C-alpha cells in the first residue's frame, strides 16, 4: 500500500464485537468504552509521516477492535496548534488521543512559553520512528554532489546552499550541528513542514530539504530526489548506501528522528488509558500492520518497550534532547 493509496482509501469501520477481539484487548475493555469514535490528533498536514502513521494505526485499530477511529489534522504553528490542544484543551476522557512525535517535548520547552510541558501529557504507547534525512533534487544544482561535497560548498561559499527547515525543530538543529562541526554556513529557509520544503526544492527555490522517508518515498522511487545524509546513529534498511552525518562529517550526535507516540491528556481514567495503550501495542505487534508500516517507510523498534519500560525509554530520549537544548544555549543550564 503506497502513500497515495493509503490516503485515498476511506477509513471503514469493520464490525467486530468485543468478544471477537484478541483476548489481550477484550480483557482490558472498560465497560461500554468507547461508545463513540476516538479522535486521533495529528499536528501536521495530510500526507506527512505523522499523518501516514495515524491512518495506518486507525485502519488496523478498527480491524482489531471494531471501534471507530477518526484522524483529525489540527495543523498550524508548525505543530503548536495540536500540541497546545492536546496539553491544555483536549478532554481527558479517552476519546482524544494524539499521534505525536518527540518534537512535542521540544515545543513544550521552547515554544509553549510556560503554558504547558510534556508533563501535561501521558505517553500511552510507542509506535515507530523515522530518521530525518537530507535530500536534494536529482537534477538540481547539487546534482552529483554527496553530503561531504555539499558541506564543502557551504564552507567555501557561505550561505550559498539553501536548506529548508522547521524553526525550533530537528531540521533546524541538524543545520546548526553541521555548521558547528564543519565550519560550513547555510541559508536557512523556514517552512511549515517537510513536504512544503520538498515541494519548494523540487521547484528550484531551495537546494536541500529535510524530510522523513515516509514523506519522500514516492519522489525517491520516481527518481526525482536523492537522499544524501541520515540524521541517525546508523544507516537504515530502507535507504541502503546512504550514510549518516556523523560517519561522513566526523561529527558526533547528529541524531534526530521523529519518534512517534500515542499520547493522552493528563488524567485520563486509568482503565481507559490502559485499554488505548493495549490497542496501539496490539496494532504495532500485528503482522498486517507491520507490513503497512514497513511499506510506508517507517521503522519499528521493539527495544523501545511497552508500559514502564517504554516510558523510561522516552524519558532518556527527552533527556538527550534537553541536553542539546542546553548545550546550544536555547534553555538555561
pLDDT bracket for residue 16 (50, 70, 90): low
What cell numbers appear for 38 in the block? Answer: 476516538
Q: What's the chain's average pLDDT?
A: 91
Strands 162-165 and 187-190 turn out to be: parallel
Q: Which of 162, 106, 104, 164 is nearest to 133 (CA)?
A: 164
| Same domain membership, residue 294 and residue 279 | yes
pLDDT at residue 7, rounded to an integer: 41
Cβ atoms of 70 and 39 within 8 Å: the answer is yes
| Same domain membership, residue 162 and residue 51 | no
State percent of the chain over pLDDT 70.
94
pTM of the predicted model, to two decimals? 0.83
Instruction: Compute the distance between CA of residue 257 and CA of residue 280 in angstroms, rounded to an integer.
Output: 20
| Same domain membership, residue 220 and residue 170 | yes
pLDDT in tens, 244-293: 999 999 999 999 988 999 999 999 999 999 999 999 999 999 999 999 99
| Same domain membership, residue 270 and residue 235 | no
pLDDT higher than 50, residue 331: yes
- Residue 303 within any structural domain of the chain: yes
- Residue 119 within any structural domain of the chain: yes
pLDDT at residue 6, rounded to an integer: 42
pLDDT higher than 70, residue 146: yes
pLDDT at residue 17, rounded to an integer: 52
DSSP output for 227-265: EEEE-SSS--TTSTTPPBHHHHH--S----EEEEEEEEE
| Same domain membership, residue 161 and residue 241 | yes
| Same domain membership, residue 214 and residue 141 | yes
| Same domain membership, residue 291 and residue 191 | no
**Which of these three, 249, 281, 301, is where a domain ends?**
249
| Same domain membership, residue 156 and residue 80 | no
- Residue 89 within any structural domain of the chain: yes
**Which of these three, 211, 232, 249, is where a domain ends?**
249
Instruction: Compute the distance between CA of residue 288 and CA of residue 22 in angstroms, rounded to an integer.
Output: 14
pLDDT higher than 90, residue 147: yes
What cell numbers appear for 238 in the block? Answer: 530502507
The total number of structural domains that make up the chain: 2
**Which of these three, 215, 249, 283, is where a domain ends?**
249
- Residue 333 within any structural domain of the chain: no
| Same domain membership, residue 109 and residue 53 | yes
- From the CB of residue 21, how many other CB atoms can be counted at a distance below 10 Å? 20
| Same domain membership, residue 157 and residue 116 | no
- Residue 332 within any structural domain of the chain: no
Structural domain of 295? 3-130+258-327
pLDDT in tens, 201-251: 999 999 999 999 988 999 999 999 999 999 988 899 889 999 999 999 999
What CATH number does the domain containing 106 carry?
3.40.190.150
- Residue 242 within any structural domain of the chain: yes
pLDDT at residue 258, rounded to an integer: 87
What CATH number does the domain containing 139 carry?
3.40.190.10
Instruction: Compute the distance between CA of residue 186 and CA of residue 168 in angstroms, rounded to an integer.
Output: 16
| Same domain membership, residue 116 and residue 264 | yes
| Same domain membership, residue 105 and residue 46 | yes
Amino acid at each position: 500500500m503506497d502513500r497515495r493509496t493509503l490516503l485515498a482509501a476511506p477509513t471503514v469501520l469493520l464490525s467486530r464485537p468485543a468478544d471477537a477481539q484478541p483476548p489481550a484487548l477484550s480483557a482490558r475493555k472498560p465497560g461500554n468504552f468507547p461508545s463513540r469514535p476516538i479522535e486521533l490528533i495529528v499536528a501536521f498536514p495530510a500526507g506527512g509521516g505523522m499523518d501516514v502513521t495515524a491512518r495506518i494505526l486507525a485502519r488496523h485499530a478498527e480491524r482489531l477492535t471494531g471501534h471507530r477511529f477518526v484522524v483529525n489534522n489540527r495543523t498550524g504553528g508548525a505543530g503548536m496548534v495540536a500540541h497546545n490542544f492536546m496539553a491544555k484543551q483536549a478532554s481527558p476522557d479517552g476519546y482524544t488521543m494524539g499521534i505525536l512525535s518527540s518534537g512535542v517535548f521540544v515545543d513544550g520547552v521552547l515554544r509553549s512559553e510556560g503554558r504547558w510541558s510534556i508533563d501535561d501529557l501521558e505517553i500511552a504507547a510507542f509506535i515507530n520512528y523515522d530518521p530525518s534525512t537530507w535530500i536534494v533534487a536529482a537534477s538540481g544544482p547539487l546534482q552529483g554532489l554527496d553530503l561531504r561535497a555539499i558541506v564543502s560548498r557551504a564552507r567555501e561559499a557561505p550561505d550559498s546552499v539553501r536548506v529548508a527547515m522547521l524553526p525550533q525543530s530537528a531540521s533546524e538543529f541538524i543545520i546548526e550541528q553541521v555548521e558547528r562541526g564543519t565550519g560550513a554556513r547555510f541559508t536557512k529557509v523556514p517552512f511549515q513542514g517537510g513536504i512544503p520544503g520538498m515541494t519548494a526544492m523540487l521547484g528550484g527555490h531551495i537546494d536541500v530539504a529535510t524530510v522523513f522517508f515516509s514523506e519522500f518515498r514516492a519522489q525517491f522511487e520516481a527518481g526525482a530526489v536523492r537522499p544524501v545524509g541520515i540524521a541517525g546513529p546508523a544507516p537504515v534498511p530502507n535507504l541502503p548506501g546512504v550514510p549518516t552525518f556523523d560517519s561522513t562529517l566526523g561529527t558526533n550526535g547528529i541524531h534526530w528522528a521523529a519518534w512517534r507516540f500515542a499520547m493522552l491528556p493528563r488524567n485520563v481514567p486509568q482503565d481507559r488509558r490502559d485499554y488505548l495503550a493495549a490497542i496501539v501495542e496490539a496494532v504495532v505487534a500485528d503482522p498486517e500492520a507491520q507490513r503497512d508500516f514497513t511499506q510506508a517507510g517507517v521503522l519499528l523498534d521493539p527495544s523501545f518497550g511497552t508500559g514502564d519500560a517504554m516510558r523510561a525509554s522516552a524519558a532518556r530520549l527527552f533527556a538527550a534532547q534537553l541536553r542539546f537544548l542546553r548545550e546550544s544555549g536555547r534553555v538555561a543550564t
